A and B are shown apart, each in its own frame.
Chain A
Amino acid sequence: MNSIFEYFADIFHTVKSLLTGMKVTGRYFFSPGEIVTQQYPENRKTLKMYDRFKGEVIMPHNDHNEHRCTGCGICETACPNGTIEIIQARIDMPDGKKKRIIDKHIYHLGMCTFCGLCIKACPSDALAWGQEFEHAVFDRSKLTKTLNQPGSSIIKDIVE
């Protein structure tokens, strides 16, 4: 008799547990307010990344097309993957001395692992994170970027 009772208790528990599960999915089916999908290309206008978002490494320039990079190369050594290449130039100073400045700050976005060591290592805070995240291009060479804008110069008060 006991086993017959168990047999029916089994069926009862089974049905109960299955209905509990169905209650969850059924509830979500009838509550469209719970939908969490973000419809990406449509929400581009309202989509704002967090201000610390690591989209790419950029070099901020001010209104006079001036940046803070001295071309010291610390970021190049801090980078674990060789993502950054610094090409320096020598210019003649008015007092006759030669001074090294940045010619090209080359950044290979395709190799970057977004670890942030270059930004942390920079002594003059020349680098920052950009919020841009739509990096897909058809040509790999477009992922190699020159961070200092053409014709830009260093802000005067930066001391090496």
Chain B
Amino acid sequence: MNFSLYDFTSFNQWIDKFLYDHLPAFWAIAVEMVIIGVAILLFYALVGLFLVYAERKVCAFMQNRVGPNRVGPYGFFQTIADFIKLMLKELIYIKNADQLLFNLAPFIVIIASFMAIAAIPFAKGLHAIDFDIGVLYVIAVSSLGVVGILLAGWSSNNKYSLIGAMRSGAQIVSYELSVGLSLVTIIILAGTMQFSEIVEGQRDGWFLFKGHIPAFIAFIVFLISSTAETNRGPFDLAEAESELTAGFHTEYSGIKFAFFFLAEYMNMFIVASIAATVFLGGWMPFHVGSWTGFNHIMDFIPPFVWYIGKTFFVIWVMMWFKWTFPRLRIDQLLTLEWKYLLPINLVNILLMAFIVLMGWHF
């Protein structure tokens, strides 16, 4: 058996075989689940903390500032310090709040984002579960988060929270459509919903280039609507700071607030990794036609690095949106979806279907 950074399949099979050799089948599965759970949990926490740091640095550079720079070199441990602070803070008891739902809401939000991570392929073989309807699963699971937001707003017994939650509900119900339809465009091109096969289909070129015009339009639409779906950037109406103070999580404090905060960043990570997987070739290296030397160098970079690089590029673009644009108003938000994105999307699907039918894609 040989481990390599380029293919984790043999590594996984080795663990699997080892467990089944030494344990009864039931316990082997149980241990596997625990290992995967812990691994994803660790990954989740690390990425969450890093993203908070990254956002603060990116926005600082865009605003001619230096950003966090006190805790550790270049302020790298700032978010860890923040996290410790949030963990130690008092959880404020809200009078007349619906205690059960109030306490449940942050967990729903965080579990929704946690479940979505399971289906994402990080590298060849580095994949918790490879559904044959992976895309559908991720769309379904990631939209569960809105339930948590609605509950948080409703149970807080706060008018700002309620307005924020209602805005968020209207927003996600509409933008869910665009996210789904823009992914459908690529599914038509790929011919499959399984993430591993979608990535495999991009071995000779990313879908963004293979599907040229319709794929590019779908990518733009996906970027806009996924930014809206994660309540970020110019679409952060649910927590519009200047209008609703903090929107649906106004009343949350301490670790419960941290859950919302972490879930927001993880949702961003999830949509960025879907964008990277579906449009930008996932962990596939960047290849240019017949430049064998160039392609060979690109192959040398491990797939995990490719995946992380692409994901963080998309995240950076989303941060760029957030720190440039003013916020939309609720009616403009809905106008944008129903009058612009949805018709464009539907026409785009037709166009893509036509192109695939005629074989005009690369």
Q: Do chains A and B touch in the complex (CB under 8 A)?
A: yes
What residues make up the interface of A, taking CB atoms closer than 8 Å to B? Answer: 11, 18, 21-22, 24-26, 28-29, 32, 34-37, 39
CA A146 to CA B176, docked complex, whole Å = 70
B310-341: which have CB < 8 Å to A? 320-321, 323-325, 340
Given contacts A11-B340, A39-B69, contact A21 B324 (CB under 8 A): yes
Return chain B residues, CB-CB under 8 Å to A32.
Answer: 61
Partner of A35 from the list B66, B320, B325 (CB cut-off 8 Å) is: B66
CB <8 Å contact, B69 and A28:
no
Within 8 Å of chain A (Cβ to Cβ): is B65? yes
Do A21 and B65 touch across chains, with their CB atoms under 8 A apart? no
Chain A residue, CB-CB nearest to B66: A37
- Inter-chain CA distance A122–B17, complex, in Å, is 93
Assess A28 versus B325: contact at CB under 8 Å? Given A11-B340, A22-B320. no
Asked if residues B65 and A29 are in contact (CB atoms below 8 Å), the reply is no
Q: Contacts A25-B324, A26-B62 given; 12 further ones with Cβ under 8 A? A: A22-B320, A22-B321, A22-B324, A24-B324, A25-B320, A26-B320, A28-B63, A35-B61, A35-B64, A35-B66, A39-B66, A39-B69
Q: Could you list 9 examples of A-B contacts with CB < 8 Å? A: A11-B340, A22-B320, A22-B324, A24-B324, A29-B61, A29-B320, A35-B65, A39-B66, A39-B69
What's the Cα separation between A127 and B58 when bound, in Å?
Answer: 48
In whole angstroms, what is the CA distance A22 to B66 when docked?
A: 19
Q: Separation in Å of the A21 CB from the closest CB of chain B?
A: 5
CA distance A18 to B336 in the complex (A): 14
Give A33's nearest chain B residue, CB to CB: B64
Residue picked from A18, A29, A32, A35, most chain B C-beta under 10 Å: A29
CA distance in complex: A28, B67 (Å): 14
Contact of A34 among B64, B320, B324 (CB under 8 A): B64
Question: Which residue on chain B has the smallest CB distance to residue A32?
Answer: B61
Contact indicator A37/B62 (Cβ below 8 Å) = no
45-78 of chain B: CB within 8 A of chain A:
58, 61-66, 69
Q: Give the Cβ gap from B314 to chain A, nearest Cβ, in Å.
A: 15
Q: Which residue of B lies closest to A18 (CB)?
A: B325
Contacts of A39 in B (CB 8 A): 66, 69
Chain A, Cβ-Cβ closest to B69 = A39
- Could you tell me the distance between the alpha carbons of A21 and B320 in the complex, rounded to whole angstroms? 10
List residues of chain B with CB within 8 A of the CB of A36: 64-65
List of A residues within 8 angstroms of B61 by Cβ: 28-29, 32, 35
Chain A residues with CB below 8 A from B66, complex form: 35, 37, 39
Q: Which residues in A have their C-beta under 8 angstroms from that of B324?
A: 18, 21-22, 24-25
Nearest-neighbor residue (CB-CB) of A14 within chain B: B340
Q: Which residues of B contact A37 (CB under 8 A)?
A: 64-66
Asked whether, in the complex, the Cβ of A29 is within 8 Å of the Cβ of B62, the reply is: yes
Bound-complex Cα distance A29 to B320 (A): 9
Is A25 a contact of B340 with CB atoms below 8 Å?
no
Q: Is the CB of B340 within 8 A of A29?
A: no
B220 and chain A: residue at smallest CB distance: A15
Bound-complex Cα distance A80 to B323 (A): 46
Task: State the Cβ distance, B294 to closest chain A Cβ, in Å.
Answer: 25
Q: Which residue of B lies closest to A30 (CB)?
A: B61
Residue of A nearest to B323 (CB): A25
Contact of A25 with B62 at beta-carbon distance under 8 Å, contacts A11-B340, A18-B325 already known: yes
Roughly how many angstroms separate A128 CA and B321 CA in the complex, as a whole number?
Answer: 51
How far is the CB of A15 from the nearest CB of chain B, in Å?
9
Contacts of B325 in A (CB 8 A): 18, 21
Chain A residue numbers with a CB within 8 Å of B63 are 28
In the complex, what's the smallest C-beta–C-beta distance from A40 to chain B, in angstroms?
Answer: 12
A32 to B61, CA, bound (A): 7
Q: Please give, as numbers and ranges, the residues of chain A lying within 8 Å of B62 by CB-CB distance.
A: 25-26, 28-29
Known: A11-B340, A21-B325, A39-B69. A28 touches B64 (CB 8 A): yes
What is the minimal beta-carbon distance from B340 to any residue of chain A, in angstroms? 7
> A34 contacts which chain B residues (CB < 8 A)?
64
Residue of A25, A28, A34 with highest tally of chain B CB at under 10 A: A25
Per the bound structure, the CA–CA distance linking A22 and B318 in Å amounts to 11
Which residues 62-102 of B have a CB within 8 angstroms of A?
Answer: 62-66, 69
**Which B residues are in CB contact (< 8 Å) with A35?**
61, 64-66
